[in-house]
Amino acid sequence: AQSVTQPDIHITVSEGASLELRCNYSYGATPYLFWYVQSPGQGLQLLLKYFSGDTLVQGIKGFEAEFKRSQSSFNLRKPSVHWSDAAEYFCAAGVGQFYFGTGTSLTVIP
Amino acid sequence: DTGVSQDPRHKITKRGQNVTFRCDPISEHNRLYWYRQTLGQGPEFLTYFQNEAQLEKSRLLSDRFSAERPKGSFSTLEIQRTEQGDSAMYLCASSYGELFFGEGSRLTVL
């Protein structure tokens, strides 16, 4: 069955520190992959996407993600976190029908 | 293009009543999705359309739920005989690749 796993429910980082959010997927073939961010009371905003090609993709707000087929992973990274990055982050995967992980809540300490 | 719009934004109803949500997608997008999101969880897939054809329905979509997309434009999601467990945020997204989400319709069943 198709599924998306985000192992970290909550992560706390200091402002200026680097960030990596983990995402693993289970799918029959290589799916389309996405990262979305959701701030409290706000809608889901697309950070970046992977359809094919270069396995390192750049997104908005300084985020990047790397697709690793051998590990069925699509981890999100940012070199230096800003206080405004505090939010809920969701990984999604699929072809036609898209599945979301349960999310990782990011807290940024000043 | 004003993005994906959903109506109403909030709905409070009594158990047993019927409710209907409307979604207007981005005009050139041929796919339309409905998701449900509860507090602290990721979006759960409910159903999706390609043009007017409903291609997939989740097992979460009991016979009390029905979705339509007449003429391949706007879509409605109806919940009959609402239960307290139906309280959630109902999200609509449209797609021509990645998903673009609306702000959601929050349902509270008393």
Read off the pLDDT band of B1 (50, 70, 90). low
**DSSP line for A19-80:** EEE--EEE-SS--EEEEEEE-TT--EEEEEEE-SS-SEEE-GGG-EEEEEGGGTEEEEEESS
Summarize the confidence of residues B55-75 as an average pLDDT: 88
Read off the pLDDT band of A94 (50, 70, 90). very high
> Which among A36, A43, A101 has the least Cβ separation from residue B102?
A43
User: For residue A81, what are the contacts with CB-CB under 8 A and spacing of at least 6?
Assistant: A13, A14, A15, A16, A17, A18, A19, A106, A108
Read off the pLDDT band of B94 (50, 70, 90). very high
Reference A31, options A103, A96, A100; nearest CA is A96
Sign of the alpha-carbon dihedral angle for A61, B45, A39, A7? negative
Interface residues of chain A, partner chain B, Cβ below 8 Å: 4, 6, 32, 34, 36, 42-46, 49, 51, 90, 92, 96-103
Give the C-alpha distances (Å, rounded to integers) separating A36 from A1, A46, A49, A58.
Answer: 22, 4, 9, 13
- What is the reported pLDDT for B2? 74
Q: Are the beta carbons of B99 and A90 separated by less than 8 Å? A: no
- What is the reported pLDDT for A40? 86
Residues of A in contact with B40 (CB under 8 A): 102-103
Reference B41, options A10, A2, A100; nearest CA is A100
Summarize the confidence of residues B23-52 as an average pLDDT: 93
SS3 B105: strand
Q: What's chain B's average pLDDT?
A: 93
Cα–Cα distance measured from residue B54 to residue B61, given in angstroms and rounded to the nearest whole number = 13
Residue B56 reports pLDDT greater than 70: yes
